[in-house]
Structure 1
Amino acid sequence: MGLSLATAEKWVERWELQQQRYAVDREDRFTVIADVVEHITADRTDRPTVVDLGCGPGSLAARLTRRLPHADIVAVDRDPLLLELARVHRADAARYVDTVIGADGWTRALALDRPLDAAVSTTALHYLDADTLRRVYRDLAALLRPGGVLVNGDHLPPDDAVLAEVAGCVGRRRAQRQRAFAHEDWASWWTAAEEEPELADLLAERRRRQPPAGAGSAARLSLSDHVRLLRLAGFERAGAVWQYGDSCVVVAVR
Structure 2
Amino acid sequence: MEVPVAETVTGTDWRAWQESWDRQQEWYMPDREERFRVMLDMVEALVGPEPRVLDLACGTGSITDRLLKRFPRATSTGVDLDPALLAIAEGYFDGDERVTFVTADLKDPQWTDALPYESYDAVLTATALHWLHSEPLTTLYGQVGGLVRPGGVFMNADHMKDERTPRINEAERAHRHMQMDRAKAAGALDWAEWWELAAKDPVLAAPTAKRFEIYGEHADGETPSVEWHARTLREAGGFGEARAVWASPSDSLVLGLK
Say yes or no: TM over 0.5: yes
Contact 1:5 1:88 in 2 (8 A): no
TM-score norm. by structure 1 comes to 0.87
Residue type of the partner of 2:112? T
Q: Map residues 154-169 of structure 1 onto 2, 5 A cutoff.
A: 154-160=158-164, 161-169=166-174
> 4+ runs of 1 displaced by more than 4 Å?
169-177
Confirm whether residue 150 of structure 1 aligns to residue 158 of structure 2: no
Q: State the Cα deviation string for residues 111-157 of structure 1 (Å, max 9, x = none).
A: 214x2111000101111111111111111111111121111111112
CA distance in 2, matches of 1:28, 1:181: 24
CA distance in 2, matches of 1:17, 1:239: 29
Unaligned runs of 5+ in 2: 1-5
CA distance in 2, matches of 1:172, 1:148: 37
Q: Which residue of 1 aligns with 2:244?
A: 240
Q: State the Cα deviation string for residues 4-55 of structure 1 (Å, max 9, x = none).
A: 464322222221111112224111111111111111122x8xx521101111
Contact 2:199 2:206 in 1 (8 A): no
Match of 1:121 among 117, 122, 125: 125
Contact 2:87 2:204 in 1 (8 A): no
Q: Which residue of 2 aligns with 1:70?
A: 73
Change (3 A) 1:207 1:101: same
How far 1:174 moved relative to its partner? 6.5
Contact 1:3 1:199 in 2 (8 A): no
CA distance in 1, matches of 2:11, 2:115: 26
Contact 2:199 2:209 in 1 (8 A): no
Aligned residues: 247
Change (3 A) 1:90 1:207: same
Contact 1:12 1:57 in 2 (8 A): yes
TM-score norm. by structure 2 comes to 0.86
Unaligned runs of 5+ in 1: none
Percent identical residues: 35
Q: Which residue of 1 aligns with 2:34?
A: 28
How far 1:170 moved relative to its partner? 5.6
Confirm whether residue 210 of structure 1 aligns to residue 183 of structure 2: no
Residue type of the partner of 1:63? R
CA distance in 1, matches of 2:9, 2:150: 41
CA distance in 1, matches of 2:185, 2:255: 29
